[in-house]
């Protein structure tokens, strides 16, 4: 499910593009949390990937 609140890039303030959600255990984390990954849409920006961990 796509979250309604968007995150902005730390460096260029461009809206981050939601890439998907994964179970925390897929990333070697314990618990029932969700890891969401976001990418910056600005080509010249050095930020490639932002991952946000939400506790379950």
**Site residues, Zn ion (CB under 5 A):** 9, 11-12, 14, 40, 42, 45, 47
Residue 50: which H helix or E strand, with range? strand 50-54
12 versus 35: smaller Cβ distance to Zn ion: 12
CB of 43 to Zn ion, least distance (A): 9
Alpha-carbon distances of 22 from 26, 35, 46, rounded to whole Å: 7, 5, 24
CB of 27 to Zn ion, least distance (A): 22
Cα separation, 35 vs 22, whole angstroms: 5
CB of 14 to Zn ion, least distance (A): 5
């Amino acid at each position: 499910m796509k979250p309604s609140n968007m995150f902005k890039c730390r460096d260029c303030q461009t809206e981050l593009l939601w890439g998907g959600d994964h179970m925390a255990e897929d990333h070697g984390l314990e618990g029932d949390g969700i890891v969401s990954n976001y990418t910056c849409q600005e080509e010249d920006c050095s930020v490639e990937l932002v991952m946000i961990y939400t506790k379950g």
